[in-house]
Amino acid sequence: MDDCILELKNIKKSFGGVKALKGVSLELRKGEIHCLAGENGCGKSTLIKVASGVYTPDEGEICINGKKHEKVTPHQAIAEGIQVIYQDFAIFPNLTVMENLALTTELAGNKKIASKKWFKQIALESIQEIGFDIDLNELVENLSVADKQLIAISRAFYHNAKLIIMDEPTTALTDKEVKSLFRVIKNLQSQGMSILFVSHKLDEVFEISERYTILRNGENVSTGDVKTLDEKQFSFYMTGREFANIERAPEPDKNEVVMEVQNLTLANGYKDISFQLYKGEILGMTGLLGSGRTELMESIFGYRRADSGKIIIDGTPVEIKSVNDAMDHGIGYVPEDRLIEGLFLDQSIEENISVAKWDNLTNRFMLDKKAMGELAQGGVDQFHIVTDDVKKTVQKLSGGNQQKVVLARWLARDLKVLILNGPTVGVDIGAKYDIHGIIRALAKKGMAVIVISDDLPEILENCNRVLIMNAGMIKGELVPSETDQTELTSLIMGG
Ligand SMILES: Nc1ncnc2c1ncn2[C@@H]1O[C@H](COP(=O)(O)OP(=O)(O)OP(=O)(O)O)[C@@H](O)[C@H]1O
Ligand SMILES: [Mg+2]
């Protein structure tokens, strides 16, 4: 079509035995904001990599600005104005903002002498185009995720992009940062840019995009105007499942305290924290970034020692000096950033899942390979982890599936207390539903689960109780069945 900037027709792509794309088509019109949605592992990132020349499709046709290609090289894609912003942004953390903005231009121009003045000019022009205000001399590693993203966008824009593709740009952003990213996207659109936006978050799709394409399992499911779609349809298209209303978790027995924290304090972290956690309870914990909630949990898990205060497990005060101490007391922790802290990316799914249970699987210094395999397969089945082989490295899994591996690992251990920091950040609705179901099942079995989350519906629907932290202190306690999002939000904001 004439008004299309990019058309992908019947694209097929396999990796070994995995058919990632089974004949997918996508039509992107000039100047539109188009959302590409679908569950983890459905092929979104693969499709983007085909469009940008990173992967060569096995079959199919790529039309850019009306020109047909059987495949494109990364160089051609860039020359045609296609810029992709991947989740790692491909920027250099140890260089300044200015150097990052100017560097690729510099490389492209093949200039031997880098003039500082010229660097500065390019950098300034790039950020001004998108109305981004930042200190050019700051090292990129000191910036927030949102600012790094804006640098990547500035750079893309400066390189005469006509189409900017963003792969799950909002995963690591706060609500406020998402709002400001959306303003930038609208601004780009008003300057004639087309945007392909990958997301599986319903509210985002409805807020920002005009048209959508939904994939499932490497195939097209539906495409059209967002206006014609409602939330129920959207969830169904993505998952092929209808979601039953979830049952609230049963109330825990308040006579059985598994863990008690008394006056726990850490300078520059949190202050005078006291609370009890009951057997079989799902306790929510929320608060703004910087509220001290992560530091608190890291102390309970032995990452950073509290300055004073007590942690009592099953009625006995314990000293938690290290992660090993915490694990010996039956405490498990799934960190916020699954990729950095949680996983051994170059090891197999099997090894990653069984690592928490190694002491049990080690029989006289010999690793019980069979038990390891069974354990891993159990996790893969229980969580619907999309893979054909538990021996594959975790690196090869899609993001949401990596998250499930982290969870599966902890569940392989018998725990008293499981702390989940942002358990469903970046996972799709199907996986989220499954994870919530599993959290409830664990609580029912008697495990106490602490869920740290910014996702207020998640907290309200799943937890028995919620603690609100602000500036290092517990500022309130609510019972979800007796409150609503408005009251919770106002407590979070310090009201
Ligand atoms: N380089 C690779 N080698 C082997 N398999 C791969 C490779 N890249 C992707 N896959 C597989 O192809 C399928 C599609 O993956 P892809 O990363 O495109 O999914 P996605 O829709 O982007 O998921 P997510 O929402 O989790 O990011 C998955 O089953 C994945 O495991
Ligand atoms: Mg992806």
Burial (0-12, 13-18, 19+ Cβ within 10 Å), 142: exposed
Dist CA 334 CA 423 (whole Å)? 8
Which burial class, exposed, middle or buried, applies to 219 when counting CB atoms under 10 A from its CB (0-12, 13-18, 19+)? middle
Q: Is 87 in the pocket of ligand 1 (CB under 6 A)?
A: no
Mutation choice for ligand 1 from 39, 45, 48, CB with most ligand atoms inside 8 A: 45
Report how far ligand 1's centroid is from the alpha carbon of 41 (Å).
5
What's the whole-model pTM score? 0.66
Which atom in ligand 1 lies closest to the alpha carbon of residue 215?
21
List, as ranges, residues with CB under 5 A of the ion ligand 2.
45
- Residue 307's closest CA among 350, 267, 343, 276? 267
d(CA 56, CA 12): 10
In angstroms, the Cα distances linking 100 to 148, 215, 481 are: 10, 34, 49
Distance, CA of 470 to CA of 487 (rounded, Å): 15
Half-sphere exposure of 383 (CA within 13 A, CB side): 33
Q: In three state form, how does the secondary structure of the chain look?
A: CCCEEEEEEEEEEEECCEEEEEEEEEEEECCCEEEEECCCCCCHHHHHHHHCCCCCCCEEEEEECCEEECCCCHHHHHHCCEEEECCCCCCCCCCEHHHHHHHHHHHHHCCCCCCHHHHHHHHHHHHHHCCCCCCCCCEHHHCCHHHHHHHHHHHHHHCCCCEEEECCCCCCCCHHHHHHHHHHHHHHHHCCCEEEEECCCHHHHHHHCCEEEEEECCEEEEEEEHHHCCHHHHHHHHHCCCCCCCCCCCCCCCCCEEEEEEEEEECCCEEEEEEEEECCCEEEEECCCCCCHHHHHHHHCCCCCCCEEEEEECCEEECCCCHHHHHHCCEEEECCCHHHHHCCCCCEHHHHHHHHHHHHHEECCEECHHHHHHHHHHHHHHCCCCCCCCCCEHHHCCHHHHHHHHHHHHHCCCCCEEEEECCCCCCCHHHHHHHHHHHHHHHHCCCEEEEECCCHHHHHHHCCEEEEEECCEEEEEECHHHCCHHHHHHHHCCC
Ligand 2 centroid – CA 450 distance (Å): 28
Give nearest CA residue, ligand 1 atom 4.
15
pLDDT tens across 59-74, in order? 999 999 999 988 899 8
Q: How far is the CA of 372 from the centre of ligand 2 (A)?
A: 28
Distances (CA, A) of 325 to 147, 331, 341, 407, 452: 38, 9, 18, 20, 22
Give me the pLDDT at residue 356, please: 58
Instruction: State residue 467's pLDDT score.
Output: 97
Task: Find the 38 Cα to ligand 2 centroid distance in Å.
Answer: 10
| Per-residue pLDDT at 89 | 63
Q: What residue type is 35 in one-letter code?
A: C
Any ligand 1 atom below 6 A from CB of 44: yes
Structure-token pair, residue 98: 């200015």
Q: Which residues of the chain fall short of a pLDDT of 70?
A: 1, 87-93, 103-116, 245-246, 337-342, 356-367, 495
Distance of CA 398 from the midpoint of ligand 2 (Å) = 6
Between the CA of 201 and the centroid of ligand 2 the distance, in Å, is 13
d(CA 495, CA 493): 6
From the CA of 48, give the closest atom in ligand 1. Answer: 18
What is the amino acid identity at position 466? V
- Find out whether the beta carbon of 426 lies less than 6 Å from any atom of ligand 1: no
User: Residue 417's pLDDT is what?
Assistant: 95
Query: What residue has token string 């725990």?
Result: 415
N residues, the chain: 495
Q: What is the pLDDT of residue 154?
A: 82
Cα 238 to Cα 428: distance, rounded to the nearest angstrom: 9
Q: Is the CB of 397 under 6 A from ligand 1?
A: yes
Query: Looking at residue 359, what is its pLDDT?
Result: 55
Provide the pLDDT for residue 110. Answer: 47
pLDDT tens digit string along 338-347? 555 567 778 8
Please count the CA atoms within 13 angstroms of the CA of 439 that sit on its side-chain side: 33
What type of residue is 288?
L
Beta-carbon count within 10 A of 364 CB: 4
CA nearest to 10, candidates 216, 163, 237, 220: 220
Query: All domains of the chain, ordered by start, with CATH?
Result: 4-239 (3.40.50.300), 257-492 (3.40.50.300)
Q: Which atom of ligand 1 is closest in space to residue 39's alpha carbon? A: 25
Q: What distance, in Å, lies between the first and last C-alpha atoms of the chain?
A: 54
